[in-house]
Structure 1
Amino acid sequence: MEANNSGNEVAGALTYPDRDDENVETVPIQPRQPINLQGLLRFAMEATKREDAPGTSGFRRMDEERRAFLEEALNSMSVDVPKLLKDAVKILSDPEKINSIQMDQDPPDDVAAAFFNIQEFICDIDVANDFHKIGGFSIFPVCLSSQNATVRIEAVSILAEMCQNNPYGQARALDANLMQVVVQLANTEEGNFLVTCLYAISCMCRGYGPACDELFANGGGPLLSELVRNSNIRVRTKAAFLVSFLAINHRSAKEIFLENNVIGNIAESLNRGIDCSTSCTLHALHALLQGPKLPPQVNDPTIKLKNVLVKLQNTKEIEYAEYSDERKVLKNIMKILKDVPTIEDADDEEADR
């Protein structure tokens, strides 16, 4: 018995039309994925072929004039990275050109373009290594000694990118004595320029012990200990991050920091109240408090660390959702300092009498 489906569909059910081979539309074969600019052009032409008006024919042989035009256009879209880097290095390693840029002057267009072109490609680790091999480090003695702050900081930014997660770059920076130069700059720069110096120091140090040794040999301990209380919030954040990292990962860092009043400076920073630098600052303090014995500074009556932490713990802002990390770290610190008393102010003692 043959079922009659035409008038007995269940309401709401999916129905399918009867198969009619004459009405089946063949799915077009997709063009192969391109691997270069020429392939991309062909891919686009093949992929849109089915959208052409009916009756259009396939590819016609391209005349020589049009072929030459397209080849020139495609070649102009390609970038010769080694040549671009060499040209940039030639500009930035020219002492006469760089020294002619006055202190408050914007760098000339060719200098600005040279910095931009290097930074555009140096984030690739292979390009970064090639940058050194073509003599790219010759820009640093010239640019880092420039009287123009923008030139100095652009060069420091390139150094940071060169070293980030790149042991080869870190080693070459150390060979060129660039840690000493950047630490010296960090002692004189301010604001966002100083932030860039700290970023470069971080990139040179992370994961590379010899650079950490070089940092402390060139005064990095006193520098970072002081900068954790800097008036610039980004400087405080970067400095506190480095203190935390080094205290955990470098054998002598903690002792050096403690000798340079880092806990007193951290207390001063935290006493400002909670802000975007507080998380890194608390993590730095937590790292410094690790070990079998607490540093004597936690009981220093001139620092009043416990008082500062209690004050921070009692602020209403610490309960905000965005400060969950700060609450967690502060709670752990208070556990470590559970036997450390708060210190009464002289005014409070006088009032009690």
Structure 2
Amino acid sequence: MRVLVTGHQGYIGTVMTPLLLSAGHDVVGIDNNLYQGSTFGESVPTIPEFKKDVRDIQLSDLKGVDAVIHLAGLSNDPLGNLNPDLTYEINHLASVQLAKLAKQAGVERFIFSSSCSNYGAGGQDWLDEQSAFNPVTPYGISKVKVEQDLHQLADDHFSPTYLRNATAFGVSPRLRFDLVLNNLVAWAFTTGRVYLKSDGTPWRPIVHIEDISRAFLAVLHAPREKVHNQAFNVGRNQDNYQIREIAEIVQQTVPGCRIDYAPDAGPDQRCYRVDCSKIAHTLPEFQPQWDARKGAQELYNAYQAIGLTLDDFEGPRYKRIAHIQKLLKMDKLDDSLRWKEVAVAAA
């Protein structure tokens, strides 16, 4: 199957692409490569690609494609809050436009990387795919809107699926430190403190990026009727943790560290406990391999191997929002977050 992956140079995409290739798929990528200066350790996989913004994809880019895996977008809440209008433009409008082009090009499968952030302020109850949306950030709102709009595009010839990923963790060539487990292990390794900015009570489901990738493969390989116009929470029920429980796992993994709370630590409005039974029952190919303890050890080993420092961790190299702000300050990007040299070359 010929698969187009948007965001293939990102945190999840650089891990997913080799798995798609190993499964025998013909993979092509589209990415604006905003984080080309942020490679962590190992090199980024090389595949045929278009270096372009997701907003600039054309019908011709989708020629001969059987399935689209749509990962690209502004990837977290702080970055989404940087400019909510851009989050709306990139994460929502561009995603829907891509789906319309894919449908026009005859692409049969469209797998959208959604998020459990859709549930937002979900409280203490278990939430399944029928639970109400309650997003609290521009990022979460954008994911909800895309699902709603793609639902209207579904028909006998165009089959979208919505994978609501739990909070990701794990090592990647384009590592992110704004994710809870990655972040807490980095604090512990570089400072000796597991530093919590909330009171530790909120619930958060977590899932390794390899297991997210396995979920996309399982959808890609599933009979159409099993996944057509369906949403799936991606993770395992046992991998719902309170933040303080994740902190305790990190403390047990990184020698000599202690748990500290920020002076203003309080409840986090983002609190949700997610039921992932549907994906386990519907897609038997999806067999997650990771949990928080195994992931914390993987991260600790990687930070040791690379010699991670606090300046790396907190600086603009790996911190998404700081990296973007640095590129803006250096006049590499315009206000719409497009590369300026690309615009000059096109002109």
Which category describes the TM-score, using the shorter chain as reference length?
Answer: under 0.3
Higher strand share: 2
Higher helix share: 1
Q: TM-score, normalised by structure 1?
A: 0.24
Find the structure with the greater CA-based Rg. Answer: 1
Q: TM-score, normalised by structure 2?
A: 0.24
